[in-house]
Amino acid sequence: MLTLYHAPQSRSSRIIWLLEELGAPYEIRLTSIPRRDGSGGPDPANPHPDKKVPAIVDNGVLVTESIAIAIYLGDAFPDAGIAPKIGDPLRGPYLEWLAYYAGVIEPVMVAGFGGFADNPAVLATWRTSADVHARISAALAKGPYILGDRFTAADVIIGSVGQWMRSALPPGQVVDDYLKRIGERPAAQRANAKDNG
Ligand SMILES: N[C@@H](CCC(=O)N[C@@H](CS)C(=O)NCC(=O)O)C(=O)O
């Protein structure tokens, strides 16, 4: 059995969505984390080395980091078709978008929250939110999904950040329609219903 350590309305919510897309058998273990309002706190039962979420345990193997989990699960359940396989021309772009999320989209977003987006080191390393938005807009101009015609785990990861904070993604109708399209997926709806455990 696969266990997801999850805290409602957090980065583990998107892993529920992913598991639902994959049709994977799993259980949710609700976990407390420190919240910005001062509530919550670390859960000693959470196996994540930093007591964060998401964390999954699959047959005794712990995997943390949303992107590692997305790649791991997408490959573990290939029949769902949401993770281009090795040899598929979309495999490279798929990994690129997942890595771009963790390596650029999130850091730029956090620099924005923190009010240091114009720090020269941030600009030299990750560029600006406008640059990130330009890449995402260019991708979505070509197709209904980040990789074109095919819905993948990259849409779960990148789409979920826009569902959580709309301004993380480019403004405008194209992205509004994208968020609606992916949010209406039955797996996304089931995941919402399970978010509280
Ligand atoms: N890069 C990590 C970030 C995980 C993360 O920061 N999770 C937050 C919840 S959204 C958390 O668990 N925070 C609790 C804490 O910082 O102690 C990932 O994507 O998995």
Span 16-74, pLDDT tens digits: 999 999 999 999 999 999 999 999 999 999 999 999 999 999 999 999 999 999 999 99
CA 130 to chain centre: 20
Our mutation pick for probing the ligand 1 site, out of 11, 14, 39, 160, counting the most ligand atoms within 8 A of Cβ, is 11
Cβ of 65 closer than 6 Å to ligand 1, yes or no, is yes
Ligand 1 atom nearest 65 alpha carbon: 20
Work out the pLDDT band at 155, boundaries 50, 70, 90: very high
Measured by CA distance, the residue closest to atom 19 of ligand 1 is 66
Cβ of 32 closer than 6 Å to ligand 1, yes or no, is no
Q: Measured between alpha carbons, how far apart are the two ends of the chain, in Å?
A: 17
CA distance 24 to 1: 10
Cβ of 53 closer than 6 Å to ligand 1, yes or no, is yes
Cβ of 41 closer than 6 Å to ligand 1, yes or no, is no
Q: In what order do the strands lie in the sheet with 2-6?
A: 26-30, 2-6, 55-58, 61-64
Span 11-30, pLDDT tens digits: 999 999 999 999 999 999 99
Cα dihedral sign, 168-27-19-192:
negative
Nearest partner of 27 among 56, 3, 8, judged by Cα: 3
- pTM for the model stands at 0.97
For residue 66, give every residue at least 6 positions away whose Cβ sits within 8 Å of its Cβ, in sequence order, or none.
11, 14, 15, 54, 102, 157
* The pairing of beta strand 26-30 with beta strand 2-6: parallel
Span 80-132, pLDDT tens digits: 999 999 999 999 999 999 999 999 999 999 999 999 999 999 999 999 999 99
Domains located in the chain, CATH noted: 2-82+188-194 (3.40.30.10), 91-185 (1.20.1050.10)
CA distance 142 to 149: 8
